[in-house]
Amino acid sequence: MQQKVAVSGFIFRDGKALILRRGKEEHFLPGYWELPGGKLEFGEDPHDGVLREVKEEACIDCEVVTIYDCWHYMMLYHDKETQFIELTFILNMKKDKPVIPGDGMDDYRWVTLEELDRYQIGKEMKEQIQKGFQWMNSKTKIMK
- DSSP annotation of 118 reads G
Averaged confidence pLDDT in the chain? 91
Task: Give per-residue pLDDT as tens, 64-80.
Answer: 999 999 988 888 878 88
Does residue 21 sit in helix, strand or coil?
A: strand
User: Taking the alpha carbons of 47, 53, 56, 57 in that order, is the dihedral positive or negative?
Assistant: negative
pLDDT at 48 over 70: yes
Task: Give per-residue pLDDT as tens, 71-126.
Answer: 888 888 788 898 989 999 999 999 888 899 988 899 999 999 999 999 999 999 99
> Which amino acid type is present at position 30?
P
Exposure string for 6-41, b = 16+ CB within 10 A, e = fewer = bbbbbbbeeeebbbbbbeeeeeeeeebbbbbbbebe
Average pLDDT over residues 27-50: 93
For residue 141, what pLDDT is reported? 47
Does residue 33 sit in helix, strand or coil?
A: strand
pLDDT at 8 over 90: yes
* Strands 80-93, 2-13: pairing kind: parallel
User: Taking the alpha carbons of 134, 5, 95, 98 in that order, is the dihedral positive or negative?
Assistant: negative
CATH 3.40.1000.10 fits 2-138, yes or no: no
pLDDT at 144 over 80: no
For residue 139, what pLDDT is reported? 67
- DSSP annotation of 113 reads G
